[in-house]
Amino acid sequence: MSFQQPFTRAQIEEKIQLAIIAIETQEFKSLRDAAAHFEVSKTTLGYRMTGRKTRTAAHETEQLLSNAQENTLARWITRLTATGFPATPLLIKQMAEEIRMQRVILASSQTTLQPSPTPIGVTGMHLMPRDYSPHGP
């Protein structure tokens, strides 16, 4: 006797989107009929019709990695394993941190209002007064 796997979240989401389209094109008289036909929760379908986001989308701002960054990490892991390298927990953590740091660097570079007035290549030593001596007076 085999156990049938339940639908994945992606499959459920696809069914919900199809149900929403069917309701908007008036293929069904009621939300209840559409939910029954597409085998989705009537409550969830109703929430989506009113604009509520998926749980994943609603809580994306609370995660360390965005959904797009998680997908990037998944692609990296897939490439690693396809080439025969093991994706150890430590390596995955380091890769996730690298992806997260790229987001932080990008965000901080976009929030800079004005470029730095110091020319590139000028160090602090060149900015000291001429009469300054590192060995005292």
Whole-number pLDDT of residue 17? 94
What residue segments make up the domains of the chain, in order of their start? Answer: 9-58, 61-110
Coil, helix or strand for 50? coil
Whole-number pLDDT of residue 14? 94
Q: What is the pLDDT along the chain (137 residues), one digit of tens a residue?
A: 555 667 788 899 999 999 999 999 999 999 999 999 999 999 999 999 999 988 888 887 787 888 888 888 999 999 999 999 888 999 999 999 988 888 766 666 665 555 544 444 444 444 444 554 555 55
Tokens (6 digits) for 42: 């009537």
Helices (H), 5-66: 9-24, 31-38, 42-49, 55-58
Helix, strand, coil percentages, rounded to 5, for the chain:
60, 0, 40
Whole-number pLDDT of residue 59? 81
Residue type for position 103: R
Rg of the chain on CA atoms, in Å:
27
